[in-house]
Amino acid sequence: MPDQVCSTARCANLAAFTTRSRPAWCTDCLDEILLKAGLMAAESFKGSKAWWLTTCVTCGVEAHYRLEYVLGNNAKGEKTCRACHWNPLPAARRLAEEASQHFGMPRGWSRERIKAAVEDNGYELVGMTSELTGDAGHSTTVVRCVKCGRISVQRLGDIGWGCNCSRNQNRSSYGGRKARPELLKDSESDLLEWWDHERNTEADFDTVTLRATRVCHWRCPACGNRFAEKVSTMATRGGVSRCARCEVEWENNWRAEKARWKRTPVADVPNLANAWADDADPRHVTVVGRGLEAYRFKCPNGHTPRVRPMLFLNSGCPYCRANDSAKKNRHYLAYADPEVISQWHPTYNGRLTPETVVWNSKRNVWWRADCCGHEWQEPVRNRNKYQRWRCPQCRTILDSLAWHDPGLAAEWSPANPVTAWQVRPTASTTFVPQWVCATNPKHVWAAPLGSRSYGAECPECRQTGKSRVEQDHHTAATRIFGNARSGVLLRDKVFASRPVWSVDILVEVGERRVVIEYDGSYWHSAPAKRLVDERKSRDLLAAGYVVVRLREDDLPSLEIADKHYREIRVYSSAPQPDQIMDQIRVWSSDN
């Protein structure tokens, strides 16, 4: 995505982040936005969706807030600091003190009790706001999540909900999951017999759904009449529609049949006569009456509904239909979530099984964790609410990365502050996770969870994005140096242009780390690319790397004067990777 100019009027600085359609601001304007919210930045800006550590200018409490949350409070004219927001007014404070003295009750919890409650819910106590601010009227706590490290201000009543990182914001219930529209070709609908394969395209048949508003061509299987109609309209007519030609014939037949039923008594229809349970004489009641009179019938299951005879003849008992529909739409736990089912206790729940308990049942049943053997009781519906613990003892969560993608979780580095059972595949974390390549454990790099879950692989192993000439030079570097790495992501606090740089080749010569960049004439000839190459080289030099750039054909020099920097001219028509790498080895050894 190209660079974006700050959205503040009359500010020509580059924005600290880029967006597609929303406004973005430079670092100076972001500081002004924070100041308007009553905050100061306690760390550098990490992104529009990242948690940003700030300090309140009023009370001095440090906490993480997202930029979107700060902007929303600024629009409402509300200060962002939660310690100040929840600080009671002097009048309310005096009233609470008077009530405490009048009834002889101690005010609040002891520090030991608060500390225990904080630790039970996955936090560590940073301090009481009354201690941090020096104002005894403050009654909130400052806590740090032990998993993600986010610092927040919490009221005592809110601590039990836990940190946002352990909640699943996208799924509130099994029954509420959004189902994908069913394709017509995959359904068992009778509309498939009406589909006109000669006039519709193959793409229509492969993509159209039962609820599509697309107009398609149909062919009546009864009379061969061809017509065009929306798929959704055809599907809502009872599964199979009658064409306009057949509709006229059907109406004529129905009129004749209806006239016959008006003359036929209920006693002459065996299905109705056997189920008749009304006081009226069935010999004097016709199947289709003059009005909407309802009569009592009794079904084999003992239900005695009052319905019209024609409706009972065509549809049967309404109570039985309702029960069948309820059973069909009931979501049993066995078909809701296999991860929760795997923790169902095999012996403590008696006759209850996941096949007989619905997903939102209030029954208090037994569960057993497979990680540590912990056993506990909890209502079935609570497993998918609140913090959604997989094991409350180990503090692992449902729908974790380790459950959904064990192959990717195997590359989760032990150096991360939490395990793969405690994060979700696309969760936002306050730290950038470390990864260890499963193919080559020497490859260690940092990447967000989302990028890995969407297919990003080891930057040193992947071949995509690397030209053939770059791969040849990497192979030559491996032969010459023995420890060449390709596509390494480098991070350093001294980097001024970007927080992370990807380098083509990284080798070690003695105690020196040498970065070798291959600059192809096609990709590096633009002025903007030349500026990027210069910024990248200066950042790497500032971080202590030795930098060698292989400038292809007629690319101009970057004109960087540094004893640890060198440019070597190479030619695309006659590459000599082995000679070039040997030349770099000699120069870097003497440098």
The two three-digit tokens of residue 456, written as one number: 């990003």
Read off the pLDDT band of 465 (50, 70, 90): low
Read off the pLDDT band of 158 (50, 70, 90): confident
Q: Which residue has tokens 């008594």?
A: 265
Give one DSSP letter per residue of 302-336, joined into a string: S---EE-HHHHHHH--HHHHHHHHHHHH--BGGGT
Over residues 457-479, mean pLDDT: 81
396: enclosing H helix or E strand: strand 396-397
Give one DSSP letter per residue of 55-124, joined into a string: EETTT--EEEE-HHHHHHHHHHT----HHHHTSPPHHHHHHHHHHHHHHT---S--HHHHHHHHHHTTEE
Which residues is 41 bridged to in the sheet?
Answer: 54
* pLDDT over 80 (residue 412): yes
pLDDT in tens, 195-243: 999 999 988 898 899 889 999 999 998 888 999 989 888 887 654 567 8
* pLDDT over 50 (residue 173): no
Least confident of 90-104, 431-445, 531-545: 90-104
pLDDT for the residue numbered 60:
92
pLDDT for the residue numbered 190:
84
Over residues 435-445, mean pLDDT: 87
Read off the pLDDT band of 111 (50, 70, 90): confident
Orientation of helix 577-590 relative to helix 468-481, angle to 10°: 50
User: Number of H helices and number of E strands within the chain?
Assistant: 19, 21
From 80, 82, 84, 87, select the one nearest 35 (Cα to Cα).
Answer: 80
Non-local CB neighbours of 424 within 8 Å, separated by 6+ positions: 168, 397, 399, 400, 401, 404, 449
Read off the pLDDT band of 379 (50, 70, 90): very high
pLDDT in tens, 253-268: 889 999 999 999 999 9
* pLDDT over 50 (residue 176): no
Q: Are strands 151-154 and 434-436 parallel, antiparallel or unpaired?
A: unpaired
Read off the pLDDT band of 28 (50, 70, 90): very high
Question: What's the mean per-residue pLDDT of the chain?
Answer: 86
Read off the pLDDT band of 177 (50, 70, 90): very low
Least confident of 70-79, 456-465, 468-477: 456-465
**Using CA of residue 286, residue 290, residue 296, residue 298, what is the dihedral sign?**
positive
pLDDT in tens, 283-334: 999 999 877 789 999 999 999 999 999 999 999 999 999 888 777 766 788 8
pLDDT for the residue numbered 2:
65
pLDDT in tens, 519-529: 988 888 888 78
Query: Per 3-state DSSP, what percentage of the chain is helix, strand, and coil (rounded to 5)?
Result: 35, 20, 45
Read off the pLDDT band of 408 (50, 70, 90): confident
pLDDT for the residue numbered 4:
87
Over residues 343-357, mean pLDDT: 93
Q: Is residue 543 within 8 Å of residue 494, measured between CB atoms?
A: yes
Give the separation between CA 545 and CA 324, rounded to whole angstroms. 72
**Using CA of residue 118, residue 124, residue 127, residue 129, what is the dihedral sign?**
negative
User: What percent of the chain clears pLDDT 70, i.e. is strictly above it?
Assistant: 90
pLDDT for the residue numbered 528:
77
pLDDT in tens, 475-502: 999 999 988 998 888 888 898 777 788 8
Read off the pLDDT band of 590 (50, 70, 90): confident
pLDDT for the residue numbered 523:
81
pLDDT for the residue numbered 454:
75
Over residues 86-95, mean pLDDT: 60
Domains of the chain (ranges; CATH) run: 90-166 (no CATH), 179-263 (no CATH), 273-328 (no CATH), 339-399 (no CATH), 402-453 (no CATH), 468-590 (3.40.1350.10)
Orientation of helix 27-36 relative to helix 67-76, angle to 10°: 50
Give the separation between CA 76 and CA 68, rounded to whole angstroms. 13
Least confident of 140-144, 249-253, 368-372, 578-582: 249-253
Q: Is 25 exposed, middle or buried (0-12, 13-18, 19+ CB in 10 A)?
A: buried
* pLDDT over 80 (residue 104): no
Eight-state DSSP code of residue 514: E
245: enclosing H helix or E strand: helix 244-263
The two three-digit tokens of residue 459, written as one number: 């930057």
Q: Is residue 19 within 8 Å of residue 2, measured between CB atoms?
A: no
Q: Is residue 368 within 8 Å of residue 345, measured between CB atoms?
A: yes
